[in-house]
Amino acid sequence: MSEPVHGKPAKQGVVTIYEIAEHVGVSPAAVSSVLANRHVERRLAPRTVEKIRAAALALGYVPNMAGRRLRAHKAATRQFDLAILTSFEAPLPLVGATLRALQRAVDAESTEDTRYAVSIEMFHAGRLREKPGLLDANRYHGIILTNTLPADDQFLAGATLPYAVVVLGRRIPRHHCVLETPDFVGRRSAEVLLEARCTQPAILYGRMLTQATEDRVGAFGRTVRERLGRDPAMLASEGLLPSQGESALETFFAGGGRCDGIFAVTDGLAVGAYRAIQSSGRRIPEDVAVVGIGDYEIAEFFTPPLSTVAGANDAMVAEAVPLLFRLLRGEKDAPGEVRVTPPVLLRESTRR
Amino acid sequence: MSEPVHGKPAKQGVVTIYEIAEHVGVSPAAVSSVLANRHVERRLAPRTVEKIRAAALALGYVPNMAGRRLRAHKAATRQFDLAILTSFEAPLPLVGATLRALQRAVDAESTEDTRYAVSIEMFHAGRLREKPGLLDANRYHGIILTNTLPADDQFLAGATLPYAVVVLGRRIPRHHCVLETPDFVGRRSAEVLLEARCTQPAILYGRMLTQATEDRVGAFGRTVRERLGRDPAMLASEGLLPSQGESALETFFAGGGRCDGIFAVTDGLAVGAYRAIQSSGRRIPEDVAVVGIGDYEIAEFFTPPLSTVAGANDAMVAEAVPLLFRLLRGEKDAPGEVRVTPPVLLRESTRR
DNA sequence: GTGAAAGCGCTAACAG
DNA sequence: CTGTTAGCGCTTTCAC
């Protein structure tokens, strides 16, 4: 039944150099040399080269990178493939900070015989499980995973990924996690508004919540309830764009909604909130105080400058990256969580 | 001299499962099963499992992903490895938009027997040539390359990468390029300021210039010179952060510099410029008109809203992605350039 | 319970 | 000018 080792037609498989070789009537080595542009040193007949090229094109040849790499592999060099996995829908500053920190570590750890490849890969929020190769042991040596939605977290809680994983911003059982001190951001941002003597606080957030945001929203609500005896206004926008935040707030105002303090859970939403507040003739902070998230350096440059809670990106990354390297080294390290407490920066937007 | 095929000690090479096997005194197959957590079905003795695990750790075993992938390869599935290569110093949101567009195309093109892996990889600006594996034919099937510095461009002009390459925002001989219509952004932004009757225009840019930015700076200068008979003030900031733009402008003002119109070449610099202008007691646009770049949705939400030129990122990506796929398919397509003309959006920051 | 052996796709070395 | 061969590191039968 089985063909000789290297003469397989692979009738329904993918095109390999063997099919091309057979098709043209030359050896696989000849094909290889042409595809690698080494046919000159091999002094192949121009006509043969042409035929091989044509066949590769006609058959739709796609090189198998694993095969090439295995072959090209320099003994005495081990390679770590690392990735940062984030959702398409997420804001990128955290990812940028993570990448820079990871690259710095990699540059420091690289030696003659140890290389690292670092990349950013994205998944559709809530559909992490559909990401190809996630469960395979043949893609990554380690990843930093961030901006997951609850659906992703649920999937992760039941899954065991066959490589080193550090989860950023989220607590997931049996995984290594680095996250904000729970409830801290929601509670402190509520307190900032209450200390500015707000009596009608509101929170502006995107409809799709990462767990970190969900935690912030929940703690904000609880704190307001405790202190004022009633719930804050909940303003859910369609997304995190300034325009979406703006229209959520406009709709609220148009419907007769009142508020004198807003917690905007991303910088984009804060930008939109500023615009909606100011274009409705209200002043910040006199009529409406605003507090936001400090993960973005832009907050200081709002008019007026935005008070922020959080902004623990750097601190989280500073924990996550060394943790990943410890896991790569196989150091015994029980799954668990590292908590980071972010700073609170009071600026004009809550000064009254 | 040479050892039997599979018994090599590889004295100074990297640790493989063969070294582990030899070390423990079992077969490579046993080691493999343990490392893949398949030892249960194999009913390995717990003690053996333990010893194998310990040896892997002690020897610092790092799995070779190419080997695993080659082995795991599902025949009848071809895989394309695509990447977006950008510099660390570049703004991530632009890259994110490119990735989303690429992913959309990939989602559409994926079939049962054709998979795509997409990632973002970064290089240090100006040191593209040092990126590991860039010249190897065993990493990517195709890339979109963006945010290169002149040093990178020079390197590229002399290099032939052994896979499909689309260069974004830059014209490089012998490569497939998608870029803004040359000079357009610099010229139009100058015109926008001149039409606002500015007589002392200035340009604010980062010290490190991508070619696209260099082009913008140059064309701005030429246009001002043509129309006013003298050069614009050139304000070079250390980087693209708001704080850096702010201090560049503060220094300029402090030194007695005067200007009534500014072209800020990124949104971060525009944010800094706004702050420096306003905190110096000047008004926008009455005292100083400002025009910026529209690649960022935030411009509309400045106070006052920022007039922008450019913002052709979406259009460029819309050209670049299909081009990449054509190259992957091997369609004959001579290297050359596609030019995209960006829109001009006039807002309050130049209305006077 | 464990080992031997085949072979994933590719390329470099060697032999004509 | 071209073909044969070995083997990169790994996993999966199959045989004992």
pLDDT at residue B1 in the model: 30
Alpha carbons B166 and B21: distance in angstroms, whole number: 46
* Residue A272 sits at the chain B interface (C-beta within 8 Å): yes
Tokens read off for A49: 């080269």
Q: Domain residues for B46?
A: 17-63
Contact residues on chain A for B278, CB-CB shorter than 8 A: 303
Residue A8 lies in a domain: no
Which amino acid is present at B101?
A
Which amino acid is present at A89?
E
Q: Are A235 and A290 in contact (CB under 8 A)?
A: no
Measured N-to-C along each axis, helices A17-24 and A28-35 cross at an angle, to the nearest 10 degrees, of: 110
With vertex at residue B125, the alpha carbon angle to CA B120 and CA B130, rounded to the nearest 5 degrees, is 80
Q: Are B352 and B193 in contact (CB under 8 A)?
A: no
B71: closest CA among B40, B27, B29, B118? Answer: B29
pLDDT at residue B11 in the model: 45
Q: Is the peptide bond before B304 cis (omega within 30 degrees of 0)?
A: yes
Which among A67, A122, A137 has the least Cβ separation from residue B68? A137
**Least confidently predicted of B63-72, B89-98, B139-148:** B89-98
Q: Is the CB of A25 under 7 A from strand D?
A: yes
Q: Are B65 and A141 in contact (CB under 8 A)?
A: yes
**Least confidently predicted of A252-261, B103-112, B152-161, B305-314:** B305-314
- Separation of B212 CA and C13 C1' (Å): 47
Residue B6 lies in a domain: no
Q: B167 pairs with which residues across the strands?
A: B145, B177
Preferred mutation among A94, A120, A240, A306 to probe B, highest tally of B CBs within 10 A: A120
Residues belonging to chain B: 352
pLDDT(B141) > 90: yes
Scanning every strand, the nucleotide with its C1' closest to B49's CA turns out to be: C1
Alpha carbons A110 and A321: distance in angstroms, whole number: 15
Q: Strand D: which nucleotides have any atom within 7 A of a protein Cβ?
A: 1-13
Burial class of residue B130, CB neighbours in 10 A (0-12, 13-18, 19+): exposed
A217 shares a domain with A250: yes
Residues 6+ apart with CB under 8 A from A300: A306, A347, B242, B243
Residue B198 lies in a domain: yes
Alpha carbons B131 and B149: distance in angstroms, whole number: 14
Question: What is the CB-side half-sphere exposure of residue B145 using CA atoms within 13 A?
Answer: 29
Q: Is the CB of A40 under 7 A from strand D?
A: no
Q: Is the CB of B138 under 7 A from strand D?
A: no
A290 shares a domain with A259: yes
pLDDT at residue B45 in the model: 87
Contact residues on chain B for A113, CB-CB shorter than 8 A: 14
Task: Tell me which residues of chain A, numbers 275 to 314, contact chain B at a CB-CB cutoff of 8 Å.
Answer: 275, 278, 297-298, 300-301, 303
The CATH number covering residue B261 comes to: 3.40.50.2300
Q: Is the CB of B59 under 7 A from strand D?
A: no
pLDDT at residue A212 in the model: 80
Global pTM reads 0.85
Alpha carbons A305 and A298: distance in angstroms, whole number: 9
Contact residues on chain B for A64, CB-CB shorter than 8 A: 70, 73, 78-79
Tokens read off for B308: 């922008």
Please give the residue that has the higher pLDDT: either B9 or A185: A185
The answer to whether the Cβ–Cβ distance between A301 and B272 falls below 8 Å is yes
Q: A115 pairs with which residues across the strands?
A: A79
Show pLDDT as tens, one digit a residue, over chain A (352 residues).
333 333 333 445 688 998 899 888 888 989 999 988 888 877 888 888 888 989 998 888 999 999 999 888 777 788 999 999 999 887 777 888 899 999 999 999 998 889 999 999 999 999 999 998 899 999 999 999 999 998 999 999 999 999 999 999 888 999 999 998 989 999 999 999 999 999 999 999 998 777 788 889 999 999 999 999 999 999 999 988 899 999 999 999 999 999 999 999 988 899 999 999 999 999 999 999 999 987 677 788 888 999 998 767 888 999 999 999 999 998 877 889 999 998 899 999 999 8
A306 shares a domain with A221: yes
* Residue A238 sits at the chain B interface (C-beta within 8 Å): no
pLDDT at residue A41 in the model: 79
A278: closest CA among B302, B178, B352? Answer: B302
**Least confidently predicted of A54-63, B213-222, B309-318:** B309-318
Determine which helix (DSSP H) or strand (DSSP E) holds B120, and give its type and residue range: strand B114-123
Measured N-to-C along each axis, helices A211-228 and A184-195 cross at an angle, to the nearest 10 degrees, of: 40
Alpha carbons A76 and B13: distance in angstroms, whole number: 4
Q: Tell me the shortest Cα–Cα distance from A197 to chain B, in angstroms.
A: 26
Tokens read off for B173: 């001989």
With vertex at residue B147, the alpha carbon angle to CA B250 and CA B208, rounded to the nearest 5 degrees, is 35
Residue A6 lies in a domain: no
Sole residue written with tokens 């008019």: A303
Residue B3 lies in a domain: no
Residue B8 lies in a domain: no
Give just the sign of the alpha carbon dihedral B315, B321, B327, B331: negative
pLDDT at residue A11 in the model: 45
Residue B258 lies in a domain: yes
Per the structure, the count of domains in chain A is 3
A221 shares a domain with A276: yes
pLDDT at residue B266 in the model: 87
With vertex at residue B335, the alpha carbon angle to CA B329 and CA B340, rounded to the nearest 5 degrees, is 100
* Segment B132-137 mean pLDDT: 91
Q: Are A338 and A181 in contact (CB under 8 A)?
A: no
Query: Tens of pLDDT along B229-274?
Result: 999 999 999 988 899 999 999 999 999 999 999 999 988 899 999 9
With CA atoms as reference, the chain A residue closest to B327 would be A57
pLDDT(B319) > 60: yes
Which among B13, B75, B77 has the least Cβ separation from residue A10? B75
Q: Are A263 and A201 in contact (CB under 8 A)?
A: yes
Query: Tens of pLDDT along B14-35?
Result: 899 998 998 899 989 899 999 9
B298 shares a domain with B262: yes
Which among A62, A77, A120 has the least Cβ separation from residue B78? A62
B307 shares a domain with B320: no
Residue B4 lies in a domain: no
The CATH number covering residue B55 comes to: 1.10.260
pLDDT at residue B10 in the model: 41
A174 shares a domain with A126: yes
B190 shares a domain with B84: no
Alpha carbons B347 and B352: distance in angstroms, whole number: 10
What are the strands, taking DSSP E only, across B131-246? 142-146, 164-168, 176-180, 201-206, 233-237
* Segment B199-218 mean pLDDT: 89
A88 shares a domain with A55: no
B242 shares a domain with B263: yes
Q: Are A343 and A294 in contact (CB under 8 A)?
A: yes
Sole residue written with tokens 């190259």: B327
Residues 6+ apart with CB under 8 A from B16: B10, B61, B64
Residue B226: band (very low, low, confident or very high) from pLDDT cuts 50, 70, 90: very high
Task: Tell me which residues of chain B, numbers 142 to 181, contact chain A at a CB-CB cutoff of 8 Å.
Answer: 162
pLDDT at residue A201 in the model: 97
A125 shares a domain with A218: no
pLDDT at residue A350 in the model: 96
Q: Strand C: which nucleotides have any atom within 7 A of a protein Cβ?
A: 1-13
A307 shares a domain with A188: yes
pLDDT at residue B12 in the model: 57
B25, B43, B63 - which closes a domain: B63
